[in-house]
Amino acid sequence: MTETFGSIALTIGGGRVETAARFDVINPGTGGIAGTAPDAGQAELDLAVAAANAAFPAWSARSDAELQAACTAVADMLEAHAEELAQLITAEQGKPLAGIGSRWEIGGAVGWARYTAGLSLPMQVLQDNDQGRVEMYRKPLGVVGSITPWNFPVLIAVWHILPALRTGNTVVSKPSPATPLASLRMIELMNEVLPSGVVNSVSCQDTDFNMGAAMSGHDGIAKIVFTGSCGTGQKVMQSSAGTMKRLTLEMGGNDAGIVLSDADPEKIAEGLFWGAFINNGQTCAAMKRLYVHDDIHDAVCKALVAYAGNIKVGEGTREDSVLGPVQNQMQFDKVARLVAQARAKGQVLLGGDAGEGLFFPPTIIAGLGADDPLVYEEQFGPALPVIRYSDIEDALAQANALDVGLGGSVWSGNVDKAKEVAKRMECGSVWINSHGMIQPNVPFGGVKKSGFGVEFGEEGLKEYTTIQAVFS
């Protein structure tokens, strides 16, 4: 595939903006070029921020009903172009079109957009008595800067952009240089139903110019919402300090799953697999460590390997592919390194050997402990360590030992017993007998170095507003 999607441009102030240079976007499934993207710099960023600020007064003055209708129109536009966007995602991200892949991602984006459109933050009366009336209003912040990763390029962009629009903010969106095409096209489509300047895009190769740092430090941006690695999130926080920006940071995790002794290995095997390997493990809230009670350790491993052994890994346009490649060479090398280190000590139950190109098979390794890199370092790929334990206190101590805490799970035949264990896990979300199943109506965020602030639901919507109290 050579420059199939090479005509996509920036969208700034409602119009196409070309850049002096473009950069290649690699198709991780074929090794070819999926397309080219605009390589923007400070001038384009300043233009986008100015356009968003110019659009803000009129957009923020719209009624709640008008904002809801506009967000619904965005959802309709995404749905109308679902297949086009799915094809773009597969070409640049690598995930299969079918199954829990690109079409699933677009379906989720449409559903999330519709749900967000239906939310509202009405005025609240805090006091109304003979001492006076106090009303509390939630007001938009201004321009929101969105910085998104490469694992779910459209879905996460929708998570950032729609709440901003729904609350009357305007947006400058920067996609990952690894997967800019679908996001840029999505914003082109949004601009067909939104006023000029309400949503703008900037893409950058991030080599000679660091667009994320420039956005974080830009005095024309009121808030940054970021999804990505812990290290990059820390840099966003540092570079935003001078302008006192509002921040929502959803950063990496190293989610632990704990299987109690009363769980049924055969019943939980499928859920364990998808908890760990959804999107090829390239998911912030995927299960990265699995602690299994000694009584059923071997049976769980056997059932998990039996299920995983039937998963087809292949190029994303093949309808029989269930998992695709690792998205980029850097991430592939990290997974390969961690697996190589793990196999020197542990027992490789499945996989372990890299395939051609960026393909890496689902890999399950037992016999590891807390001091092994595959356990304490987030792999963000298709490799799962299974750690044996005999004391639940030890399992909880190991699960909570790391300095991140995004998600976790407990697997048991007794839900009440599992909830008691779940409440002791140090993470923002805990699932019982599943893992990572986020919902648009439930706040989602991490603790410790996994970030702060939440997304989704009314609590997530509030993150895009400031409070004003009116006394009368």
| Contact (CB, 8 A) for 216 and 224 | yes
Helices (H), 324-456: 329-343, 373-376, 392-399, 415-422
Q: Catalytic one among 71, 204, 230, 284? A: 284
Euclidean distance between CA atoms 235 and 74, whole angstroms: 32
DSSP class of residue 243 equals G
* Closest of 215, 111, 236, 222 to residue 173, by C-alpha: 215
Phi, psi of 176 (to 5 degrees): -65, 140
CA atoms within 13 A on the CB side of 273: 23
Neighbours of 46 (CB within 10 A): 14
Task: State how far the Cα of 262 lies from the Cα of 293, in Å rounded to an integer.
Answer: 9
* Pairwise CA distance, residues 374 & 404, whole Å: 15
- The CA–CA distances, whole Å, from 285 to 112, 228, 454 equal 18, 12, 14
Using the Cα atoms of residue 324, residue 328, residue 332 and residue 334 in order, give the sign of their dihedral. Answer: negative
String of DSSP letters for 194-238:
S-TTSEEE----SSSS-HHHHHHT-TT--EEEEES-HHHHHHHHH
CA–CA distance, 149 with 157 (Å, rounded to integer):
9
Rounded to whole angstroms, the Cα distance separating 106 from 292 reads 34
Give which of 420, 414, 345, 338 is closest to 379, Cα–Cα.
Answer: 338
471, 466, 470, 392: which is closest to 167 by C-alpha? 466
State the Cα torsion 133-138-141-143 to the nearest 10°: -140
Determine the Cα–Cα distance for residues 78 and 101; give it in Å rounded to an integer: 16
Catalytic residue, from 105, 250, 378, 463: name it.
250
Residue 284 annotated to the active site: yes
Three-class secondary structure of residue 35 per DSSP:
strand
Distance CA(100)–CA(436), nearest Å, equals 13
Active-site residue set? 250, 284
